[in-house]
Amino acid sequence: MRRLVACAVLSAGVFMPLVATAQDFAALFREINPSVVVVRAKGREVTAARGVGQFSETGSGVLISADGKVMTAAHVVHSMDEISVEFLGGERIAARIVESEPAADLSLLQLERVPAGAKVARLGDSDRVLVGDQVVVVGAPYGLSYSLSIGWISARWQPNTVYRAIPLAEFFQTNATINTGNSGGPMFTTSGEVIGIVSHIISKSGGSEGLGFVVTLRTARELLLEKKSVWGGIDGMMLTGDLAEIFNVPGGVGYLIKTVAKNSPAWKAGVLGGDRTATIQGQEIVVHGDVILEIAGIRVKSVEDLTAIREKLGTMPPGTPMTFSVLRAGKVVELTGTLP
């Protein structure tokens, strides 16, 4: 009898809070869901089999202002030709990139309009978040819109430590389930405040293995809201060392353009992307595009220089001439566009 009583007490102590927590999360989901969006983008890619072809990308995002600003991940939208945002209920709104920082995997979209029923998310203080705090992620994993996952903060990583391909981002590591399509979606505290933007996972299987990485809201505030990071619309790779020699790049370093987004500042200036692939030193590379040597008077010697260029352009008023020096077919060509 004593054992049965003890079990009953233990059950009450353990399971009753879990039921209450489930109810709390249901209420939380209803509160935050109207601020979450599905981001759908169309762009071009170059493959050995097809040459230049179209492809689509699905991600997530979060509405952060009443005038229609949406935060998302740069890798979902950065070099895309068309972007739309889908709200709860299925209404789609056209969007354009106004700021982007690939070195932190962050982009800021501007909607053509904000639909009725949309809700602006509350932005929190990511500096106050501790390892062990419970968190919520809402997004569109594998296109399954408005899916909720719950987990904990596993670690906090300073910029340029855990993921050097994205050197400017401070990351939360989380065991909340994150899959393809969650990218760009918000991470919330249990009180409903946004504290991060989902970036990527580390996985051997390709699916979630409890190693998700989320850019902290501190990073997003600094790079997208407090500074202006001008979107140029280009995507490519650095050429250094042997690769720079193979391409005969003046000065031994440059940025090979893979894709230029339609109607972006670089597109309007006449910067050209690649249209075929070649295997060089065992690596498949998109070629036949311009090699950027200099933008706005800043020589491109590293990925960090691209960030410095975006920051410099961000201090200039719209309509200011935007100059490019590119290597094209063995010759240096000067191009000029205007800042948006």
- Active site residue ranges: 75, 105, 183
Q: Is 221 left (phi over 0), alpha (psi -120 to 50) or beta?
A: alpha
Place of tokens 């140029």: 232
The C-alpha atoms of residue 20 and residue 276 are separated, in whole angstroms, by 57
- Please answer whether residues 134 and 172 qualify as being in contact, where contact means their C-beta atoms are separated by less than 8 angstroms: no
Long-range CB contacts (< 8 A, 24+ apart) of 305-313? 306/102, 306/103, 306/255, 307/101, 307/103, 307/168, 307/229, 309/232, 310/100, 310/101, 310/229, 310/230, 310/231, 310/232, 311/227, 311/228, 311/229, 313/230, 313/232, 313/339
- Please answer whether residues 275 and 53 qualify as being in contact, where contact means their C-beta atoms are separated by less than 8 angstroms: no
